[in-house]
């Protein structure tokens, strides 16, 4: 029951709030414990020790995501770990560029598919590959098992990914990788809130299109996992297919009539 509740709590971290307040965390703990209790006829009280086991999964969930993303940073963005003066200078310049640190009003570019042109919002390879590998690695992974909470990809999830990538980039801020930098609530919750604001503003530009984009992100990750489609295709022809085939039939029939006239 404890393991189930902890797992459910981590799903909430990924889809509702990666940095819940202590009060929210306690409310969630009671919520997931009640869900876990439904699987057994015996009712166990949520004592303070179990509650702490559950709420401590906040940092565990963020840390696991951080550890998944960290190895992708150097290869994706081109940081060099050799420690030379030249590499340090290049790494620092790259960090400033990706975070747009030298601008009066910084506009980070690291999460775009094309970081130079700032095109493909939230479609950087690190984001897309992490979604697939972290929540959709197998046909029974969290993104499949809890499709209602992941489909379409949540704005919260995208903001969490951006925040985690920014933390991993911050480890290169001096030009040398800093293993001692802490992924702390105090520092990174404000950054998360800023990313969430940007994701929501992006979504509000065209709500229907942005939801479609996030749905496609989910659908592609689901297909990559090898899981069955979320919804089965319709048994019959679509209206568009019927219209197309109707015109095709008419064209074929007209062609046969013309052939018969030529034969006579």
Print burial letters for 226-238: b (CB count within 10 Å at least 16), e (below 16).
ebeeeeeeeeeee
- Cα angle 231-133-223, degrees, rounded to a multiple of 5: 25
Provide the pLDDT for residue 259. Answer: 58
Provide the pLDDT for residue 248. Answer: 86
Provide the pLDDT for residue 238. Answer: 72
Three-class secondary structure of residue 81 per DSSP: coil
Provide the pLDDT for residue 241. Answer: 78
- Contact (Cβ atoms closer than 8 angstroms) between residue 119 and residue 129: no
Provide the pLDDT for residue 253. Answer: 79
- Contact (Cβ atoms closer than 8 angstroms) between residue 150 and residue 215: no
Three-class secondary structure of residue 71 per DSSP: helix
Provide the pLDDT for residue 263. Answer: 59
Please list the residues that pair with 114 across neighbouring strands.
Answer: 119
Spell out, as residue ranges, where the chain has pLDDT lower than 50: none
CB atoms within 10 A of CB 205: 9
Torsion angle of alpha carbons 27, 32, 38, 39, nearest 10°? -160
Provide the pLDDT for residue 243. Answer: 83
Provide the pLDDT for residue 2. Answer: 93
């Amino acid at each position: 029951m404890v393991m189930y509740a902890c797992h459910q709590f981590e799903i909430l971290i990924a889809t509702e709030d990666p940095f819940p307040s202590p009060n929210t965390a306690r409310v969630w703990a009671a919520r997931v414990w009640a869900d876990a209790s439904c699987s057994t006829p015996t009712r166990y009280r949520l004592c303070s020790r179990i509650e702490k086991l559950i709420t401590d999964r906040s940092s565990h969930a963020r840390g696991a995501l951080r550890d998944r993303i960290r190895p992708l940073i150097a290869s994706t963005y081109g940081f060099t770990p050799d420690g030379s003066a030249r590499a340090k200078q290049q790494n620092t310049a790259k960090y400033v560029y990706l975070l747009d640190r030298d601008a009066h009003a910084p506009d980070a570019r690291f999460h775009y598919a094309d970081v130079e042109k700032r095109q493909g919002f939230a479609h950087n390879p690190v984001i897309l590959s992490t979604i697939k590998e972290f929540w959709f690695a197998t046909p029974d992974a969290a993104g499949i098992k809890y499709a209602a909470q992941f489909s379409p990809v949540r704005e919260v999830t995208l903001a969490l990914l951006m925040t985690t990538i920014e933390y991993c980039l911050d480890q290169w801020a001096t030009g040398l990788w800093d293993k001692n930098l802490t992924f702390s609530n105090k520092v990174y919750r404000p950054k998360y809130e800023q990313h969430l604001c940007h994701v929501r503003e992006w979504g509000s530009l065209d709500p229907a299109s942005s939801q479609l984009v996030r749905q496609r992100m989910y659908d592609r990750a689901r297909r990559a996992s090898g899981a069955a489609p979320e919804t089965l295709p319709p048994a019959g022809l679509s209206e568009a297919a019927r219209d197309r085939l109707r015109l095709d039939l008419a064209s074929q029939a007209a062609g046969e009539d013309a052939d018969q006239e030529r034969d006579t």
